[in-house]
Structures are given as structure tokens and as C-alpha cells.
């Protein structure tokens, strides 16, 4: 066997081993997408009921425009941005798109004269900000592919602390935005920006819901303002949790798509290397036949 043929066969074995890994990762991502979708669907009824309760409490409050979580500051100077990225790579441009959207939002807020304090979820985003030496309000890693409500609660509490301010941050931030990747379907995921604080309260006429039944009537104890104080932090935590869940589903979908593309490329490379190896083997056989024929001619002469 010639040296060139050995090189081709060694490369084919290497690509075949890589193909097995990417195919396994594709299958794992596919199974995790289903679980992430189930968790996302399971959390939606609670969020729907919570939104209805917050809307009802806001509509019965005496002056909701003065509530700390709904009032817009007269002079907006600081904003917090929650950026959700991935802990692991091999997911295409999933994390890069979130970081780019965060940079675009930061420039937009800076143009308005606001200082931006980022809160970063995922090792990819944390590495990006650490490498550039930028200050962050919080860093959260280790759970992006399977987030829990405890993780969302911790992030929500930090965001509320930054919003209200403490002894080190007088006045706190004036706005809180979240950048996440919305799961549309297996092939489409969209990077979105949502402002979660201050809340925009819109007065609406109570109408029957999709099932044809009217919305429930609420009785508030001790008062609508007190209920609103208790519900709005839960609302923020649930919004963060929903963003983490849909981002997790998008991460698995992006990883599955990237691994499928890598598997297809490996198959194409194997076919190309196999053709080159066959050509090299045929060239060696032709050369050996030519040498045998030449030697026979020399002996007969």
C-alpha cells in the first residue's frame, strides 16, 4: 500500500469518527428539544393566569401609574439588560446573535443618554464580557440547557434589587430589558428584545376569552395595591423563567441544526476522500502493471 493511499484511509477513519460524534449530538439535541417544549407549554397556563391577575389588580388600584414597578421615571439615566446565551458551543450563531442584539440595544440606549448595566446568562456571554473587561451586574452559568424556576427566581431578585436600588446604587436602574431567543419551530428561532420593567399597563374592556367564558372576577385582600406589590415580583420571575425556557428550546434546536449540518458535511467529505483513495489505488495498480509489463518485455528481448 502506497503512502498516499494510507493518508487517505487515515483521514477517512478520522472523519467517520467525527461523524459518529456529531450524529449522536444531533440525536441528543432532538430529544432535549421535546422536553424543553413540554416544560415551556407547562409554564404557559400559570403565566396566563398571572397576567390576568396583575391586570385585574392594576385596574382596581387607585393610582397604578405611581407604583414603583409601573411608573416611568421622569429622567431615565440607567438601564439593565439581561442577555441570555449558552453555556456550551456547537450551536451555530445562537449565542452570537444574542450578544450582537445586546450590543445594538446598548448603543441605542447610550444614544439616549442612558448607562447600561448588563446581566449575563451563559458562559459564552460571560466570556465575551470578561474578555473585554466590561462590568456586569450579574453572571449566571451552568443551567442554560435545563433552567429551573430557582434559577429564574435568583435572576429576578437581582434584577428587582437593581431596579429598586440599594445602599451602593442610589435610585437603581430605570428600565430592565431582556434579550432572549424565541422558539418558533424546529427550523426557526428569533432573537427578541422585551422590556419587562417598568410595566406598561393598558386599560382593556373585559370580554369573554377564547373558550367563550367571561374572565373571573377578583376580590383583593387587603387591597389591590397590596396584591399588586406581591404579584409584580412573581410576574418578573415568571417572565425571566419563560425567557430561559424558550431560549433553552432554541439552543437545542440550533445545536441540532448545526450538528446535522456537520454530519452532512462529514458524509460529503467521506465520499470525496473515498473517490480520491480509489483513484490513488488505481494509479498504484496501473503503475505496478506497467512495471511488470516493462520487466517482461526486457526479459523477452
Domain membership of residue 242 as a residue range = 27-200+218-254
Whether residue 79 sits in one domain with residue 16 = no
Q: Order across the sheet with 115-121: list the strands.
A: 138-140, 115-121, 78-84, 175-183, 189-197
- Say how many C-beta atoms besides its own lie within 10 A of residue 189's C-beta: 23
pTM recorded for the entire structure: 0.80
Assign residue 163 the CATH number of its domain: 3.40.1380.10
- Write the Ramachandran bin of 264: left for phi over 0, alpha for psi from -120 to 50, otherwise beta: alpha
Three-state SS at 199: coil
Whether residue 66 sits in one domain with residue 112 = yes
Structural domain contains residue 211: no
Structural domain contains residue 67: yes
Whether residue 222 sits in one domain with residue 86 = yes
Q: 177, 82 in Cβ contact below 8 A?
A: yes
pLDDT tens per residue across all 301 residues of the chain? 567 888 888 999 999 999 999 999 999 998 888 888 888 888 888 888 887 777 777 666 655 556 666 666 567 788 899 999 999 888 888 999 999 999 999 999 998 888 899 999 999 999 999 999 988 889 999 888 889 999 999 999 888 888 876 545 455 788 889 999 998 888 888 999 998 877 765 544 445 455 555 556 667 677 767 777 778 888 888 889 999 999 999 999 999 999 999 999 999 999 999 998 888 888 888 877 887 877 777 777 6
State how many domains the chain has: 2
Amino acid at each position: 500500500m502506497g503512502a498516499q493511499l494510507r493518508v487517505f484511509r487515515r483521514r477517512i477513519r478520522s472523519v467517520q469518527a467525527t461523524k459518529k460524534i456529531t450524529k449522536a449530538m444531533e440525536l441528543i439535541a432532538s430529544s432535549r428539544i421535546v422536553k424543553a417544549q413540554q416544560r415551556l407549554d407547562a409554564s404557559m397556563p400559570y403565566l396566563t393566569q398571572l397576567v390576568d391577575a396583575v391586570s385585574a389588580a392594576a385596574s382596581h388600584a387607585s393610582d397604578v401609574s405611581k407604583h414603583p414597578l409601573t411608573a416611568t421615571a421622569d429622567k431615565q439615566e440607567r438601564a439593565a439588560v439581561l442577555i441570555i446565551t449558552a453555556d456550551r458551543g456547537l450551536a451555530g450563531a445562537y449565542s452570537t446573535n444574542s450578544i450582537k442584539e445586546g450590543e445594538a440595544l446598548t448603543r441605542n440606549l447610550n444614544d439616549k443618554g442612558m448607562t447600561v448595566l448588563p446581566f449575563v446568562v451563559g458562559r459564552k456571554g460571560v466570556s465575551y464580557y470578561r474578555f473585554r473587561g466590561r462590568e456586569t451586574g450579574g453572571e449566571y452559568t451552568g443551567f442554560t440547557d435545563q433552567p429551573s424556576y430557582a434559577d429564574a427566581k435568583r435572576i429576578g431578585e437581582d434584577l428587582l434589587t437593581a431596579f429598586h436600588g440599594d445602599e451602593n446604587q442610589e435610585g437603581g436602574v430605570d428600565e430592565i430589558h431582556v434579550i432572549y431567543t424565541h422558539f418558533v419551530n424546529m427550523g426557526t428561532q428569533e432573537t427578541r428584545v422585551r422590556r419587562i420593567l417598568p410595566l406598561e399597563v393598558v386599560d382593556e374592556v373585559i370580554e369573554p376569552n377564547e373558550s367563550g367564558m367571561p374572565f373571573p372576577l377578583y376580590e383583593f385582600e387587603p387591597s389591590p395595591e397590596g396584591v399588586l406589590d406581591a404579584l409584580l415580583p412573581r410576574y418578573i420571575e415568571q417572565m425571566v423563567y419563560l425567557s430561559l425556557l424558550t431560549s433553552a428550546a432554541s439552543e437545542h434546536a440550533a445545536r441540532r441544526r448545526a450538528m446535522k449540518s456537520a454530519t452532512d458535511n462529514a458524509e460529503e467529505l467521506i465520499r470525496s476522500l473515498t473517490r480520491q483513495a480509489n483513484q490513488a489505488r488505481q494509479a498504484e495498480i496501473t503503475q505496478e502493471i506497467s512495471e511488470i509489463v516493462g520487466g517482461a518485455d526486457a526479459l523477452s528481448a
